[in-house]
Amino acid sequence: MTTDMTSGSAYRHLWRYALPLMLGNWFQLCYNAADSVIAGRFIGAHALAAEGAAGPVMNLVILAISGVTVGAGVLMELCYGLFIGGATALLRTPVVSLFVTGPSAQAVVELGARYLGAMAVFYLLPAFTNGFQGYFRGMGRLGVTLLGTLIQTSLRVVFTMLLAPRLGILGSACACAGGWCVMLLVEVPLYLLRMRGREGAA
C-alpha cells in the first residue's frame, strides 16, 4: 500500500512523513554521541581526536552516497560506493591531516587514517542501506525506515562497546559495518516481501 499525499490534510501528511525522518536523524546523532563517549573512555584521547578529524570526511562521503542512492538503482549504488570507497582509501592520510595540527598531530592522523581506511572498505554497505531506505521512503513506508535506523544505531552502540576496547579505533569502524549489515538483514526481506506482493497483484 502506498500513501496518497495529494488528498486529505497536507499538514498531517507532512508530519506523518517528516516525523520518522526526524526521529531517525535523532537516533543517528545519539549513536554519534555514544561513539564519542566510548572512544574517549575506552580507546583514548588520540582515538577520540582521530574520529573527530575523520568525522567530517565520513559525513561528506555518506551524504554523497545518500544523494546518489535516492534516485539510483542498485548497480549505480554499487559503482558509486566502490568509487567513493576507493577514493577515500587512497586519500585518507592527506585528508585527515587537513583537520589536525599540534604536537600530537602525527599520532592522531595515523589513527584517523586507519579509521577512515577501514570505513572506506565498508562504504558499500550504506550505499545499499540508503538505497533501501530511499525505496521505503518513496513508498511512504517510513515506519520501515525508522525501524531500520533504530535497530542499526542501537546495535552500533552495542557493537562499539564490545569491539572498541578490544580492537581500538578499528572496533568503531567494524561496529558501523555490523549495524549496516543488520539493517540490511531487516530491510531486504521486507523489500522482497513487498516485491512478491506486487507480483501477486499483477
Cβ neighbours of 72 (radius 10 Å) = 18
Query: What pLDDT, on the 0 to 100 scale, is given for residue 189?
Result: 95
Cell of 52: 573527530
pLDDT of 200 higher than 80: no
Q: Where are the domains of the chain?
A: 17-196
Could you give the percent of the chain with pLDDT greater than 90? 33
Could you give the percent of the chain with pLDDT greater than 70? 89
pTM of the model: 0.79
Query: What pLDDT, on the 0 to 100 scale, is given for residue 77?
Result: 66
At residue 179, the 3 state secondary structure works out as helix
pLDDT of 2 higher than 70: no
Per-residue pLDDT tens over the stretch 86-104: 888 899 999 889 888 888 8
Count of residues making up the chain: 202
Q: What is the Cα–Cα distance from 45 to 49, expressed in whole angstroms?
A: 6
Per-residue pLDDT tens over the stretch 111-148: 999 998 998 888 888 878 888 888 888 888 888 989 99
DSSP string over 65-104: HHHHHTT--HHHHHHHHHHHHHHHHHHHHHHHHTT--STT
Q: Which tops the pLDDT comparison, 137 or 80?
A: 137
Q: Is the separation of the CB atoms in 151 and 96 below 8 Å?
A: no
Which residue matches cell numbers 539510483?
72
